[in-house]
Structures are given as C-alpha cells and as structure tokens.
Structure 1
C-alpha cells in the first residue's frame, strides 16, 4: 500500500510538472495584432499574410501575427500612431501619408521623379537610410516596403489636355496628390479607398490618380469611364514594428521576422509588377477605356512634376539634397 502511494505521488508530481511546463510554454507564446488598411484580396494584404505565415513557421508558433485588414482594428490614418503608442506592435501604412510630418516620407510620391520599377527601387535605396532614421526617432523600425503599380488618372470623361482637369473635384490622399490637383487647377478632395464608389456616384469627387490595383479592387468601372496610364510615380506601403516590442522578443524570433521581411519585400515587388499587368487588363475587360495620355497632357503633367520635384527638394532641405545626390549615383 505504501509503495503504491509513493507511485501515485510520483505520478501526481510528474503530472503537475507537465502542467506547469504547458503553462510556461503557453505564456512564452506571443500573439501580435497587425492593423492593415486594405482588404484581404489586395496584393499587399496577401503578401502580408504570407509574411505572417513565414514568421509562425520559422518560430514554431512562438510568435504569431493576427492580421486585421481593411482598417477593421485601426483606420489607415490611425495605424502609425497606434503602433508608435504600442496599441498594436506592428502595422502597415502608405509611406507618403506621413509626408506632412516630414518631407522624406513623401519622396516616392513626387510625380515623375521615379516612374518605373527600376527607378523606384533605386530611389528607395537612396532614401532608405533617412526613412529608417526618421522612424527610429519615433520608436519604430522599418521591416519592408512594397510599391503600388504606377499611378494613372481615372476620370468620368475624356481628358486630352491639362485644361480638361480644371475645376474637377480631384481625389487627394496625401500632400503630393493634393498639390498635384492644385497645380492642375483641380479641386483636391480627401476620400479614403473604401468610400470611392459612393464619393464618385454622388459627385463628391470626379477624378483621381491611383494605381490599376486600387481601380480594379474598387470596381472603378461602376462609376468611371477612362483610365490614363501616366505612370506618374510608384508610391510604397511600408510594414513597420514598434521597436520596444521587437526588442522584447527572443533573438530567434527577431531573426525570423527580419528573414521573413526580406523575403516579403522581394516577393512583394515582383507581385506588384504582376499586379500592374493583371489589373490594367481587368480595367479594360470591364469596359474602362485604358489610354495613353496625349503628348500635350503628358508634357503638362511633366511640367507639374518638375515643379513638385523642386518644391520637394526645397522643403526637405539637406535631407532632400542627400536623397537626390544618392539617387543620382544609383
């Protein structure tokens, strides 16, 4: 009897030890909430889903990321500050949304400064050190960026010259698009992506400059008729992390995030190129007139671009000179 009691005690101790180990293991697991601005079918969000999957696999599930897409956790304008304050440890935003706080964040949205994927990559490499520095000063760390397809002009009517844009309510989503509208004598109007169909249908906005991706995802053919492939610029989204949250991870988890981020950046840039071709075709297949801008319109837009490049350099001061100089050497 005594012997059997000893065995039972040993078994109970072993079971308790296993239970404690399980609790310790559970407490060691980290789950991060990640707000993103766009829906699940958007190629940026799909790339982030792969990024999250890679991290979970690389860490054996010790770090998982729960994606809250389409602004469901925080709206786009709130995401950066939410991550900065630690309300969410990781997030995604359009970089140029932050240009009002520092011109460096707007460099990839200066019209015609970089109007191809190769040029956009070179501009990114030239501006990346400053971008990282600006984020670090706010307790944030850049993980990776992915560009949107080149920007084109959508309208509800034919546009042959810059005068045809005069007076139109032009959708603005950052300082650069607002300035572009002003220089074209259009009326800048702030509208978020989810509100585009209603805004166009009600006449609150009549034209916009954005990517084939946004146009196709928002079913622009329901409320627009023309798309002009101006290839004005390739704005980037960035995924970034709260530095304190990142530093609090185990070394293996940090390494897993950085590896997954590098892979996501490469995959995302290639996905963007594919997206450009596929979504431009979707626009055409659904009745949007996909057109090259007239020589007169293109020349006028380039003139606006030259003005904006000069303005950006002046506003960015020494930072702007450093980026332009580094970009010219790429």
Structure 2
C-alpha cells in the first residue's frame, strides 16, 4: 500500500511539474547559422535558465515551421506563441512597419538606433492593438547591391531581374527600371542558380548565408538602409505567464537586443571579408550610382510620407530631432 502511495505521489509530482512548464514555439525565417537565429537560440536558453525551466522556447529556424510571410499571422492567431519577423515585409499593412526600409533615411548603426528609438513606442502600441507584444528588435547590417554584371549607374540595372522581398525593394526595382521578382531568403540560392534573379539588394550576412558569391560577382557597399527583425509574442500567451516569468522573459529580450545589435556590427565586417575571400568584388558605389540611389531614396521618402500621413511625419520629425 505504501509503495502504491509513493508511486501515486511521484506521478502527481511529475504531472504538476509538467503542468507548471510552458512550451512556446518560435518560428524564424533564416538559417540556424544566421546571427539572428544564433541570437534567438541564446535568447531561448537565457529564458529557460532565468525561469528555472518554467518557460521553454523551441526555435524553428530556416522557415521550417512557417514561411517568412506567414509568421506574423501565426503569432497573432496563436498558432505560434512567439516569432521573428522582418518589419519592412509588412509595410503594406501599416506604413510604420516600413520606416526602416526607406532607402538612405538611416544608413549607419547609430542612425538606425535613433530611428528605432522614435519608432518603438508606436510599434508597441500597434502590436498591442493586434494582440501582440514586442519583445525586441535587431537591425540587419547595411544593405548593399549584388549584381551579376558591373553597375556604374542606375542605367545598368534597367531591364534586369531584381529580387524583391518587401514593398520597398519592389519599388526600388521599379524606380531604376528593373523587373521585380518576389523571392524569400530561403529560396534565394535556387532563384540565382536558375537565372530567376540577376540583382539583389541585401546584407552581407544574407550574401554569405545564401552563398551569393557562387552566382553574383559584384557587391557595391551602398549602405542603403538597415532593416530590423522584430521578435513578437502573442499577447494572450504572454499574459498567461506569471509576473516573475514575464519579467525574466523581458530581461532576456533586452539582453538579446543589446547582444544582437553588437553581433550585427561584427557580422557586417566579417561577412564582407568572406564575400571578398570567395572571389566577389566588394567596392564602394561610384559617384553616379550613389547619386542615382539617393534620388530613389528621396522619391520613396516622399511617397512613404504621402501614405503614412501625419503619423509618418511625426516619426520622421522625431527621428531628425
């Protein structure tokens, strides 16, 4: 009898422990080796340790659980409790999501952090309205121009197949006379191998992840913008956590944000060196190309302000203070 009682007590203890543990899934679009994904893994580990195993986050990199465009909806609808999204991809939904994708608005880490500081309060408010919580955001390295052929000015891009992954990248293609082709990061290598894409504006990090040097020979360090990835949580799932777990989660998020920005800067230096080491020509843009792209940026800022209205103007004014 005592033996049976002991077994029952042990089973109850195990059951109580299982009930006390909360499991979250975190879908992400980029490979496990990408610095954002590495940071997510560290974040999940920090949360596990800080909560004593009460909250366990499983990271699903490489679009293995949901494809990039599906992640925000999955978190919003509770199919995933937390996820990582590229903010600029959702500009058509709400213009403020695309602020960090306006070419030549913020072109350094210092400027990008300043833009994020202006953007963060309105991001938090919007996501809360949509049933989500902003945990943290980290910038990609500055976006450069990859091409199969040398590019001396925007005229050299006319008629070429340009990889688009957001409304902003599609619009740049249109303004330089290129043909936008929508390709997400996970399919980029294949698109290049099959000739679907000839030009691409992305970071050195994605260039190394996708081995762009196998297909494209020229990289121009135009530092067009620094788009951000944001890690967002489902608000109901967040609210269901006890206060101590919420606090531990937000502390781990703040640490991940600081670590992620530092990693981004290091990755920028390292990946450009890797591109060069693999035979890619890495050069600053010519004066003509820089001037052409700055005109594109000025046009796109005015277009964005026209769509964003007073809210957009307030954001730009706050950023430029």
- TM-score band, normalised by shorter chain: over 0.9
Superposed counterparts of 1:107-256, under 5 Å: 107-256=99-248
1:108·1:120 contact (CA, 8 Å) conserved in 2? yes
Could you give the per-residue CA deviations for residues 98-157 of structure 1, whole angstroms, max 9, x where no partner exists? Answer: 101010000000000000000000000001111111111110110000111000000001
SS in 1 for 2:201: strand
Contact 1:36 1:91 in 2 (8 A): yes
Give a deviation string over 1:242-273, Cα, whole Å, max 9, x none. 00000001111111110000000000000000
Alpha-carbon separation, structure 1, partners of 2:310 and 2:123? 14
The residue number in structure 1 matching 2:297 is 305
Distance in structure 1 (CA, Å) of the matches to 2:124 and 2:69: 20
Deviations 1:148-202 (A, max 9, x none): 1000000001000110011111111000000111111111110111222221222
Structure 2 CA distance for aligned equivalents of residues 61 and 18 of structure 1: 19
Q: Which residue of 2 aligns with 1:282?
A: 274
* Aligned length, in residue pairs: 321
- Written as runs of structure 1 = structure 2, the 5 A alignment for 1:80-95 is 80-95=72-87
Q: In the TM superposition, what is the alpha-carbon distance from 1:81 to its structure 2 partner?
A: 0.4
How well do the aligned residues superpose, as a CA RMSD in angstroms? Answer: 1.1
Equivalent pair of 1:146/1:269 in contact (CA under 8 Å) = yes
TM-score (norm 2): 0.98
**Distance between the aligned counterparts of 2:184 and 2:116, measured in 1?**
25
Does the CA contact (< 8 Å) of 2:48 and 2:54 recur in 1?
Answer: yes
State the secondary structure of the residue aligned to 1:39.
coil
Q: CA deviation at 1:17?
A: 2.9
Moved more, 226-235 or 185-194: 185-194
Contact 1:130 1:319 in 2 (8 A): no
Aligned partners of 2:191 and 2:14: how far apart in 1? 53
C-alpha contact 1:143 1:238 (8 A) present in aligned 2: yes
Q: Which moved more, 1:205-214 or 1:192-201?
A: 192-201
Q: Is the 8 A contact 1:93 1:237 kept in 2?
A: yes
Once residues 9 and 214 of structure 2 are traced to their aligned partners in structure 1, the CA distance between those partners, rounded to angstroms, is 63
Question: Aligned-pair distance for 1:304?
Answer: 0.7
User: Which runs of 5 or more structure 1 residues have no equivalent in the other structure?
Assistant: 1-7
CA distance in 2, matches of 1:173, 1:13: 61
The runs of 4+ residues in structure 1 deviating greater than 2 Å are 11-19
Whole-angstrom CA distance in 2 between matches of 1:266 and 1:88 = 24
**Match of 2:39, SS?**
helix
Residues 135 and 233 in structure 2, CA contact (< 8 A), matched pair in contact too: yes
Aligned residue number for residue 68 of structure 2: 76
Return the alpha-carbon distance in structure 2 between the equivalents of residues 214 and 47 of structure 1: 15
In 2, the alpha carbon distance for the partners of 1:307 and 1:42 equals 32
Task: Give 1:3's aligned residue.
Answer: none
**Aligned-partner Cα distance in 2 for 1:36–1:198:** 20
For residues 72 and 102 of structure 1, the distance between their equivalents in structure 2, rounded to whole angstroms, comes to 26
Asked whether the equivalents of residues 32 and 62 of structure 2 are also in contact (C-alpha less than 8 Å), the reply is yes
Secondary structure of residue in 2 paired with 1:188:
strand
CA distance in 2, matches of 1:155, 1:325: 35
Higher alpha-carbon Rg = 1
CA contact (8 A) 1:229 1:291 kept: yes
Equivalent positions of 1:263-278 (< 5 A) are 263-278=255-270
